[in-house]
Amino acid sequence: MSEPILVVRGLRTVFHLANGAWAAVDGVDLEVDRGEVLGLVGESGSGKTVTGFSITGLVDPPGEVLAGEVRFAGEDLRAASPERMRQLRGDRIAMIFQDPLMTLNPVLTIGEQMAEAVLEHGTASAQAALAMAEEALGRVGISSARERLAQYPHEFSGGMRQRVAIATALLNKPDLIIADEPTTALDVTIQGQILFEMQKLARETGAAVIWITHDLAVVAELADHIAVMYAGRIVEGGTVAEVLDDPRHPYTRGLLDSVPDVGVRGTRLAQIDGMAPRLDARPAGCAFAPRCSRASDTCRTADPPESTEGHRRFRCHHPLVMEVVR
Amino acid sequence: MTTPVLEVRGASKHFSRRPTLAERILVAAGRAEPPPVVRAVEGVDLAIMRGEVLGLVGESGCGKSTLARLVSGIHAPTSGDVRFEGRPVAGLKGRERLDYLLAVQMIFQDPFASLDPRMRVHRIVGEALAVHKLVPPGDLDKAVDQALADVGLDTAYRDRFPHQFSGGQRQRIGIARALAVKPRVMVCDEPVAALDVSIQAQVVNLFMDLRERHALTYLFVSHNLGLVRLICDRVAIMYLGRIVESGPVAELFEKAAHPYTQALLEAIPRIHGRKREFEPVKGELPSPIAPPSGCAFHPRCPHANARCREERPLLREIASGRHAACHLLTPA
C-alpha cells in the first residue's frame, strides 16, 4: 500500500501572547489519500484553520509551529526551506480561502493573475498560460471565459469570484487542495455548484482535498473521511458514515443534535451548554468536560488518550456506545 | 376573520443613488440616463397572524432583509402599505406611531455591529426605556435586570461592555434590548447565522422559550431551511424582490410547488445524506437592477417555456393556504 499523499503527526502550533504561549493546535494527526476528501470540522477557535496554515507553512508570528511532522508526498515539509515551500504552494499544494477577495488582487485582471500563477511555477509561454486560464475558468462553469479574463475581480459576483479562486488553485493540477470554509459565505444554490465542481475535480485529477468547515451537513455529503476538532485536538476521526451515524465522542453527538435537520417541528433543539474555552483558558483534563453531561472526575483531571476501533479513533474517557440507530 | 398583526399590501421598496448636479442637468437635457434603480422589494403582499412564527426565506440579494425592515418601520415603502393591527402605519402619529415602533422590535444578524461598543450593557438594554419614559426612573435597574434574566444572562454582567462577551452572549444582549420594551412582534433578520453551531441551538431555543413566555409573534428571516422547518408555522420564499411561494411549513417542505423552492430544497446539504453527486442549479441570482423579463426565475428554471419568458406569473392560491407564482401551476 502506498503512503498517503499527506501525513501529519503530532502537529503542535502555539501562539506567543502577552500572557504565555498557548497551543492552538495541540498534537494533531492527519492522513489524506489521493482522490480523497477529508472534512476537517470544528467551531470557531477550534484550531482547524491554524492546522491548514501549519501544513502549508503559512503560520506567521506570534504563531509558531513547535513540533510534529508534516510529510507531503514523502517530503518533510517542516524541514523544507521557505523558498521550497513557496515553490510547492500554488503548484503542488493549493489553498482556497473563505473570502476570495482576499486571494484575488483587485488591480490585476483575472487573466493576469491566473496567468501569473502558471508562469511562476512553470515554463509555459504567456500565451499558453492564458489559454490554460481560459480552460480552467470553463471547467468551473464560468461561461464566456475569454471575455471574463479581461475583467477585474470587482466585476464578478461572490460565487463567481470563489470559482475563479478555485480555478486558479487548480491551474497547476495540485496534488493537495486545502480549502478553508470556501462556501460559507455563499448561497446554497451557488454552494451546490461549487461542491459539484470540487467533487468532479477531485475525481478527475486525483487530488487530495482537506475541506475545512463548521458545516457538518456539507461534510456528510462531500467527504470520505471526517476529523472533528475541539480546542486544538482531533477528538474524533473516521469515515463519514462511521462518525456521523454512530459517534463515539459526546461533542460529535452534541454537534449532530444541534443541527436542525429532520427534527420534529416545535421541539427544542438539543443544545450543548456553555461555550468553547478560550485559547489561554483551557481546562485541565478533557477540554470538553465542562460542557459534557458524561464528564466524571477523571475527565476533569486526566487527558483522555486516543482510543482506536478499526480505522476510527476518538479521545474520550466515556465514549458513547452504539445506540439505537435513528 | 381575524386581523393580521402585521401586513404588507403591494409593498415595493426601490433604492437609487441621488444624482449629482451634473447628472441632473444631463438627465433633464435628455443627454443621460437617470441612476439605476434597485428594485429590492417589488409588489409584496404578506400577512403575519398573531402568535405565529412566519419564516421568510431566500438567497442573498432577494430582498428579504429589506422586507423585514419595511415591516419594522426602519424603511418606508416606495409604494404600497404596511399595516399594523389593521391600520396603515404611514398615517400613525405621535403616541400611536411610537406604540407601533416599540411593539415591533428587530434582532439583527451581526451581534458585533448591532451593539454600541462604548455603552455598558445596562445602558444598551435600558436606553429605550429611559428615552421613552416607559418605566419610572427608580424602576429602570429592575426592568433591565428583568430583561437580562429573561434571556439567560447573569445580571452581574450589567456593567460590562459588549467586547467582553462572546457572539452568542452578544446576541442575547440584543434580544434583551428588544424585550425590554415589551414588544408584540419580533422581526429577526438571520439572528443565528453568525453564531457557531452549538451556540445557534442555544439562541434558537431561547427564541422559542420567549415566544411562549411573552406570547410573541415572529417574522424569522433566514436562509437556513432546516431551522425554518423546525421553528416556523408558515414560510414565504422570496426570489428577486418577490414572494414566489408561501404556505404552511409542513406542506411546503413535503411538496414544494415552485421550481425555485424545489431547487432550493434540493441544494441544501443534509446531515443524513452521504457522499452524493451534486446536481447544481445552473446560473446566478440575477441583478435586481435589471431583472429578467417574465418570471424572474426563468433563466435558471428547468421547466421554463415561452410564456415564462414573456409574462410575469402572479402569486395565486394553489391549494387552501398555499400560494405560488408559477405559470406551470396555474395554466392560462
Angstrom CA distances, B124 to A125, A326, B103, B113, stand at 61, 44, 18, 13
- Asked if the structure places residue A137 within a domain, the reply is no
- Asked if the structure places residue B329 within a domain, the reply is no
- Asked if the structure places residue A155 within a domain, the reply is no
Task: Tell me the residue range of the domain where B313 lies.
Answer: 6-15+37-270+277-324
Instruction: Report pLDDT for B131.
Output: 93
What cell does B92 get? 400613525
Instruction: Report pLDDT for A266.
Output: 64
Q: Which residues of B touch A196 (CB under 8 A)?
A: 277-280
The arithmetic mean of pLDDT across residues B21-39, rounded, is 86
Question: What ipTM was reported for this prediction?
Answer: 0.76
Cα–Cα distance measured from residue B282 to residue A182, given in angstroms and rounded to the nearest whole number: 19
Question: What CATH number does the domain containing B111 carry?
Answer: 3.40.50.300
Cα–Cα distance measured from residue B124 to residue B74, given in angstroms and rounded to the nearest whole number: 19
Model-wide pTM > 0.95: no
- Asked if the structure places residue B53 within a domain, the reply is yes
Interfacial B residues in 84-143 facing A (CB < 8 Å): none
Does the pLDDT value for residue A232 go beyond 90?
yes
Q: Which residues of A touch B264 (CB under 8 A)?
A: 188-189
pLDDT in tens, A241-255: 999 999 999 999 998
DSSP H helices in A122-259: 126-139, 145-148, 158-170, 188-205, 216-222, 240-245, 250-257
Q: Which residues of B touch A258 (CB under 8 A)?
A: 197-198, 200-201
CB of B199 within 8 Å of a chain A CB? The answer is: yes
Cα–Cα distance measured from residue B166 to residue A279, given in angstroms and rounded to the nearest whole number: 13
Q: Which residues of A touch B196 (CB under 8 A)?
A: 43-44, 214, 275-276
Q: Most A CBs within 10 Å: which of B109, B208, B271, as the mutation test of the A interface? A: B271
pLDDT in tens, B173-186: 999 999 999 999 99
Does the pLDDT value for residue A262 go beyond 60?
no
How many Cβ pairs within 8 Å bridge chains A and B?
139
Mean pLDDT of chain B: 90
What cell does B287 get? 441583478
Task: Tell me the residue range of the domain where A253 lies.
Answer: 6-92+172-315
Cα–Cα distance measured from residue B143 to residue B132, given in angstroms and rounded to the nearest whole number: 14
Q: Most A CBs within 10 Å: which of B109, B196, B276, as the mutation test of the A interface? A: B196
- Asked if the structure places residue A101 within a domain, the reply is no
Q: Which residues of B touch A223 (CB under 8 A)?
A: 275
CB of B60 within 8 Å of a chain A CB? The answer is: yes
CB of B278 within 8 Å of a chain A CB? The answer is: yes
Contact yes or no for B272 and A220 at CB 8 A: yes
State which H helix or E strand residue A227 sits in: strand A225-230
Tally of structural domains, chain B: 1
- Asked if the structure places residue A111 within a domain, the reply is no
Determine the Cα angle at A323 with ends A321 and A325, to 5°: 140
In sequence order, which residues have a C-beta less than 8 Å from that of residue B159 and are 6 or more positions away? B120, B121, B122
- Asked if the structure places residue B155 within a domain, the reply is yes
pLDDT in tens, B52-110: 999 999 887 788 999 999 999 999 999 999 999 999 999 999 999 999 999 999 999 88
- Asked if the structure places residue A147 within a domain, the reply is no
What is the nearest CA distance from B106 to chain A, expressed in angstroms?
A: 22
The owner of cell 386581523 is: B3
Contact yes or no for B227 and A191 at CB 8 A: no
Q: Which residues of B touch A256 (CB under 8 A)?
A: 271
Question: What CATH number does the domain containing A42 carry?
Answer: 3.40.50.300
Relative to beta strand A312-315, strand B316-319 is unpaired
Tally of structural domains, chain A: 1
- Asked if the structure places residue A125 within a domain, the reply is no
Q: Which residues of A touch B268 (CB under 8 A)?
A: 188, 217
Cα–Cα distance measured from residue A286 to residue A271, given in angstroms and rounded to the nearest whole number: 19
CB of B289 within 8 Å of a chain A CB? The answer is: no
